Amino acid sequence: MTLNKLQALLDLLLAENKFLRESIQQSDSGDAFKVAVRQWVENYSKERPHLNKCCESGELRRHDFSKLNWKDVAALRMMDYLDHAGIKVQDPSLSIKEVISDPFGQIYEAVKTGEYEFRVDFVMDMIMLFRQFSGKLKKSVPTKEKVMEWIDRHPSGLDPEIVAIRKDNRDRIIHKFIDMMDKGRIKDAKFFFEPGMSKHDKYSAMRKWWQTRLFHLRFAIRDPEVLIEMLDHSLAKKRIRQLRRAKVAGIPTFVNPYYLSLLMVDPEKHLKGADEAIREYVFYSKELVEEFGHIVAWEKEDIVEPGKPNAAGWILPSSHSTHRRYPEVAIIIPNNMGRACAGLCSSCQRMYDFQRGHLNFDLNRLKPKTSWPERLEQFMEYFRNDSQLRDILITGGDALMASDKSLEVVLDAVYNMAVKKIEDNKQRPDGEKYAEMRRIRLGTRLIAYLPHRVSKDLGSVLRDFKK
C-alpha cells in the first residue's frame, strides 16, 4: 500500500516536472543529476540579485530576505539541499543515529532503482516545493475571517453542551476517587474524609478540593491502569497496549483530574474526535515509546559539558539550569517546583530531561534547594556580562509550577540583572555598549492544564514585575 502510494507520488512529481524527468533520464549518476538541477536553479537565480547574493554568500540577511518572493524561497531551499548534499547529521533524539541529507540524490536513486529510502511525506513535500518553484502553488495567507471560520467548525469549551459534558466527567472522576479512598486505594495526608461522612458529604468535600491546584497535583493519575479505569475503560485496545508499553519503557504517566475531565468518554457521534487536540497530549506515540531511554539529547545544543562550548558555541554556567542556542536568547530552568509540570505532554521537547530525571513529578523533592539562590546569582552574573543577550525565557518544566514566592525570587533576580546591565552600559563608550534586556517570557502550559493556578496573587507577582 505505502509502496504503491510512494510510486504514485513519485510519478506525479515527475509528471508535473518535465525538467526533472528528462534530467534523470539523461544523467548517468546522481551527481550528474544534481549538477543539472543546480544549473536549472542558477539560471533562475542569476536574474534575481537578492536571491543570487544569498546563494553566493551562503548568508541570509534581513534586508535581502525581505526582497525574496515565494518562488525565490523555493529556489533557496533547493540550493540549500544541493549545497549540503551528502552531509551526515547525527540525530540526538534518535540514539545518535546518523542521517544523510541528500534529497535530490534520493529521488534519482528511487527513479533509477525503484528502491525508496524515504517516506510518503518526503515526496509530498518535494511535490509542494516544485509547485512553489514552478508557480503552480501560490502563497496564500488566510484572512482572519477564514481562520475564525475554521475555528468555529470545532466546539468550544464554552459551548453549553461541552460545559455540561465536562461537569459530568468531573462528577464521574470524583465518584471514582471517593470509591478508591473508601477502599483504601488512595491515602493522602492533606485531602482525606473524616470518619462518618456520608457519600453526599464526601462529594461536597471533594468538589471544594477540586477548586484547589494542590488537589489536582496530589491526585494526578500516575499509572496507566488507573488512567484506563478513570476513563471508564473506553480506550481502544491499541491505545491501552501503547500505554502499557510506555510504562515499561519508563515514561511517566501524570494526568491531573482537571485535565482528565476534559477528555470525553463515549461522546455522541457529532462530538467524536472533538477532544482530539486535548487527548493527544496524554497518549504517547509509538516512536517515543521506542526511543525513550535511549534519547541522548533532544537537540544537539542540549549537550553541555563544563567549560566546553555547546553545539551553538556557548559556554554555559550549568548543564541543568540554562540552555542557549541563539545570541539574543537564553533559557533558565529554575531549580525548584518549576522543574515539574501539571501534566506530561506527549510532544514534550524536554522528554530528554524527563528521561534523565532532571524534570520529574516528584513534587516533594522539587522544593528549592538551599544552593539555588547562589546559583541563580551566578546565572545572573553570566547574563549581566553577556554582550548580546536581550531575551530570557523562564521555563521548566513549567514556570508557573513554582510557587509565587519562588517565581518572585527569579523575577526579582532577572529585574536586578537587567537594571545592572543598563548601569554598566553608562560606563561603556558608544559602540561598545552591551545589549540590554528587552523581553522576559514565562514558559507555561498551566493555563490549559490547571487554570486554578491563575490566582489573584499570581496576578500581583506578574503585575509588580511588569511595573
Instruction: Give residues 18-57 in contact with ligand SF4 (rule: CB under 6 A).
Output: none
Instruction: Provide, rounded to whole angstroms, the least separation between the CB of residue 392 and ligand SF4.
Output: 17
**Which of these ranges, 122-130, 185-193, 302-310, 393-401, lies near ligand SF4 under the rule CB under 6 A?**
393-401
34 or 350, CB closer to ligand SF4?
350
123 or 442, CB closer to ligand SF4?
442
Residue in the structure block whose three cell numbers are 511517566: 252
257 or 397, CB closer to ligand SF4?
397
Provide the residue type at 52 as one letter: N
Instruction: Provide, rounded to whole angstroms, the least separation between the CB of residue 337 and ligand SF4.
Output: 12
Q: Are 242 and 289 in contact (CB under 8 A)?
A: yes
Rounded Cα distance between 2 and 233, Å, is: 33
Q: Are 302 and 312 in contact (CB under 8 A)?
A: no
Instruction: Provide, rounded to whole angstroms, the least separation between the CB of residue 279 and ligand SF4.
Output: 15
Provide the residue type at 433 as one letter: K
7 or 318, CB closer to ligand SF4?
318
Rounded Cα distance between 47 and 51, Å, is: 9
Determine, following the binding rule CB under 6 A, whether residue 297 of this chain makes contact with ligand SF4.
no
Instruction: Provide, rounded to whole angstroms, the least separation between the CB of residue 397 and ligand SF4.
Output: 5
Rounded Cα distance between 30 and 82, Å, is: 11
The angle formed by the CA atoms of residues 100, 104 and 108, to the nearest 5 degrees, is 105
Rounded Cα distance between 260 and 212, Å, is: 15
CB atoms within 10 A of CB 348: 19
72 or 291, CB closer to ligand SF4?
291
Instruction: Provide, rounded to whole angstroms, the least separation between the CB of residue 408 and ligand SF4.
Output: 21
**Which of these ranges, 18-26, 166-174, 303-311, 395-403, lies near ligand SF4 under the rule CB under 6 A?**
395-403
Q: Are 41 and 79 in contact (CB under 8 A)?
A: yes
Instruction: Give residues 344-363 in contact with ligand SF4 (rule: CB under 6 A).
Output: 344-345, 348, 350
Size of the site for ligand SF4 (CB under 6 A): 9
108 or 449, CB closer to ligand SF4?
449
Instruction: Provide, rounded to whole angstroms, the least separation between the CB of residue 344 and ligand SF4.
Output: 5
23 or 321, CB closer to ligand SF4?
321
Buried b (16+ CB within 10 A) or exposed e, 303-319: ebeeeeebeeebebebe
User: Three cell numbers at 95?
Assistant: 540514539
Instruction: Provide, rounded to whole angstroms, the least separation between the CB of residue 347 and ligand SF4.
Output: 7
Residues 397-416: x where in contact with ligand SF4 by CB under 6 A, - otherwise, as a string: xx------------------
Instruction: Provide, rounded to whole angstroms, the least separation between the CB of residue 348 and ligand SF4.
Output: 3
Rounded Cα distance between 338 and 368, Å, is: 9
Q: What is the CA radius of gyration of the chain?
A: 27
Provide the residue type at 19 as one letter: F
Instruction: Give residues 308-347 in contact with ligand SF4 (rule: CB under 6 A).
Output: 341, 344-345
Instruction: Provide, rounded to whole angstroms, the least separation between the CB of residue 192 and ligand SF4.
Output: 29
78 or 282, CB closer to ligand SF4?
282
Judged on CB neighbours under 10 Å (0-12, 13-18, 19+), 284 is buried
22 or 280, CB closer to ligand SF4?
280
Instruction: Provide, rounded to whole angstroms, the least separation between the CB of residue 35 and ligand SF4.
Output: 44
User: Three cell numbers at 73?
Assistant: 524561497
Determine, following the binding rule CB under 6 A, whether residue 445 of this chain makes contact with ligand SF4.
yes
* Cα-Cα end-to-end distance for the chain: 61
CB atoms within 10 A of CB 56: 11
Q: Are 377 and 427 in contact (CB under 8 A)?
A: no
- How do 322-323 and 329-332 pair as beta strands? antiparallel
120 or 440, CB closer to ligand SF4?
440
Q: Which residues bind ligand SF4 (CB under 6 A)?
A: 341, 344-345, 348, 350, 396-398, 445
